[in-house]
Amino acid sequence: MKPSLAKGTRDFTSLEVSRRKYIINILQKNFELFGFQPLETPSFENLSTLTGKYGEEGDRLIFKILNSSINEAKEDKKTQMLTDFQKALDKPFSAESLTDKALRYDLTVPFARFVAMNHGKLTFPYKRYQIQPVWRADRPQKGRFREFYQCDADVVGSESLYQEVDLVQLYLKSFAELKVSVTIHINNRKILSGLAEYAGITDKLIDFTVALDKLDKIGKDGVVKELLEREISQESIDKLDFLFNQSNDALENLLQLKEKFAGNEIGLKGVEELEFVITQSLNLGVDIQNLVFDITLARGLDYYTGAIFEVKADEAQMGSIGGGGRYDNLTEVFGVKNVPGIGISFGLDRIYLVMEELNLFPEDATSNVEYLFANFGGEETLDALKLIIKLREKGISAELYPESAKINKQFTYAEKKGIKNLVFLGEEELKNNTVTYKNLEVGEQKTVSLEEFLNS
């Protein structure tokens, strides 16, 4: 059998794992600085928990889990069950007897489920961060995987727009520390609802936002074509043509919207909220170049109700590397009302690709061993192990080459593994209470006292 990976998944080498940990450590530190507490939820949820929250297209990307009862069935019954399962896939999915579990699609819906189950025990506003993998049955391509990590920060139990302002700060601080130059695109779903009302397509709001969300992928012509295919009239599309010709001045664009939204309550509410977030962010020193009002930003998830964010790297060709928004009704589907929420996500895998492309990882973002002790095969080996224990107690990584081998072989091992120093602890060193080591990065060899070595 030839070994292979499932499409859309990856193995991670020690270098890649170390670099991913570097990103995660920065995000985790900032999450906690901003008052968020950690949470983890199961890898899979009840299918009913996930479906109906992501829109029609999102629901199709949910990885469903075949019920264990099929595997446990006798062979003749198993064949019939699998046949029924295949038939179910060819029409709208409703085969609860065949699958009632699914891998989580994102971290937000499981979080809402957790809040609904534990709302009597939580202190509100409740702020949590979560760093875990999610799964989507998407078509793999650059920056898009079937298994990938999300790093989320959410606040529930507060309607204050200062939460949006604070999350802008969290984004900018975290990416500044990662040295990734970014632009935060921001919009408000109430504005999109207002646009639908303005164009007379309120009943087509979801179709409108799903098509508009693809603008950066398929362009204006592609969006117009999809709107027509979704039975939105040319007259309505013509009324929305101004969307594709916005100026670079966010506040000027908002002023234009105020005029178009005269008498449009939901649209004006969205403009008011967005104006507050942008103005307060600017008052806190955010550069207007880093916070862009993007009126065509839709984000296709059905559960957003207010502000929506999308973060893009300025110096790399990559899709969004972060995103999120306000969702004031999500726990309501689980029977718990009046728990408004807002959250943002950092796309770990795409951030990694951007940092790799721009060579932004520092040298110390790896976990290379500091010292390799040469093995001469004599009684010195035990003394070397004793010294290794002392180094490890001081938090310094060290290992012993496992076999007595030619020194060239031990050198090669150290170089290939990226070990910084090769240590020689032979009969002469033990007699003089010294240590000899060679720095393999610069080629310099030193003999120092044992005390100096341990304290260097």
Residue 69 clears pLDDT 70, i.e. is over it: no
**pLDDT tens column, 340-382:** 999 999 999 999 999 999 999 998 777 789 999 999 888 889 9
**pLDDT tens column, 163-222:** 999 999 999 999 999 999 999 999 999 999 998 898 888 888 888 888 887 887 888 889
Q: Is residue 399 part of a domain?
A: yes
Tokens of 16: 């890649």
**pLDDT tens column, 232-268:** 889 888 888 888 887 778 878 888 888 889 889 999 9
- Tokens 């969006």: give the residue: 223
Q: Is residue 96 part of a domain?
A: no
Q: Is 108 within any annotated ligand binding site?
A: yes
Q: What is the pLDDT of residue 81?
A: 58
The CATH code of the domain that includes 393 is 3.40.50.800
Q: What is the pLDDT of residue 35?
A: 98
Q: Is 107 within any annotated ligand binding site?
A: yes
Domain boundary among 310, 327, 357: 357
Least confident interval from 80-84, 111-115, 119-123, 224-228: 80-84
| Nearest residue to 302 (alpha-carbon basis) of 337, 330, 322, 264 | 330
Q: Is residue 65 part of a domain?
A: no
Domain boundary among 305, 322, 357: 357
Is the same domain home to 408 and 444?
yes
Tokens of 146: 């079937």
Q: What is the pLDDT of residue 306?
A: 95
Q: Which residues pair with 147 in a beta bridge?
A: 135
Is the same domain home to 177 and 249?
yes
Is the same domain home to 261 and 178?
yes
The domain of 449 spans 371-455
Is the same domain home to 200 and 121?
yes
Q: Is 287 within any annotated ligand binding site?
A: no
Q: Is 13 within any annotated ligand binding site?
A: no
Least confident interval from 211-225, 326-340, 421-435: 211-225
Query: pLDDT averaged over the chain?
Result: 89
Residue 73 clears pLDDT 60, i.e. is over it: no
Question: From residue 266, how far is each of 47, 135, 213, 250 by CA, in Å?
Answer: 33, 34, 20, 19
Is the same domain home to 175 and 256?
yes
Per-residue pLDDT averaged across 381-397, rounded?
Answer: 95
User: Could you give the CA distance from residue 156 to residue 130 in angstroms, rounded to a whole number?
Assistant: 14
Q: What is the pLDDT of residue 93?
A: 44
Q: Is 84 within any annotated ligand binding site?
A: no
User: Could you give the CA distance from residue 295 to residue 274 in angstroms, rounded to a whole number?
Assistant: 11
Q: Is 150 within any annotated ligand binding site?
A: yes
Tokens of 379: 């009684």
For the chain, report the end-to-end CA distance as a whole number of angstroms.
51
Q: Rounded to 5 degrees, what angle do the CA atoms 182, 183, 188 make?
A: 140
The CATH code of the domain that includes 180 is 3.30.930.10
Q: Is 303 within any annotated ligand binding site?
A: yes
- Please state the φ and ψ torsions of residue 330, each to the nearest 5 degrees: -65, -40
Is the same domain home to 377 and 353?
no
Domain boundary among 324, 357, 390: 357
Is the same domain home to 134 and 254?
yes
Is the same domain home to 206 and 161?
yes
Is the same domain home to 275 and 423?
no
Q: What is the pLDDT of residue 89?
A: 54
Q: Is residue 214 part of a domain?
A: yes
Is the same domain home to 326 and 274?
yes
Is the same domain home to 447 and 306?
no
DSSP classification of residue 127: E
The confidence band for 95, taking pLDDT boundaries of 50, 70 and 90, is: very low
Q: What is the pLDDT of residue 308?
A: 95
- The number of domains in the chain is 2
Q: Is residue 2 part of a domain?
A: no
| Nearest residue to 187 (alpha-carbon basis) of 347, 326, 330, 321 | 326
Residue 98 clears pLDDT 90, i.e. is over it: no
Is the same domain home to 36 and 132?
yes
Exposed e or buried b for every residue in 309-320, given b needs 16+ CB within 10 A? bbbbbeebebbb
Q: Is residue 85 part of a domain?
A: no
Q: Is residue 18 part of a domain?
A: no
Q: Is residue 99 part of a domain?
A: no
- Please state the φ and ψ torsions of residue 150, each to the nearest 5 degrees: -115, 145
Q: Is 304 within any annotated ligand binding site?
A: yes
Q: Is 9 within any annotated ligand binding site?
A: no
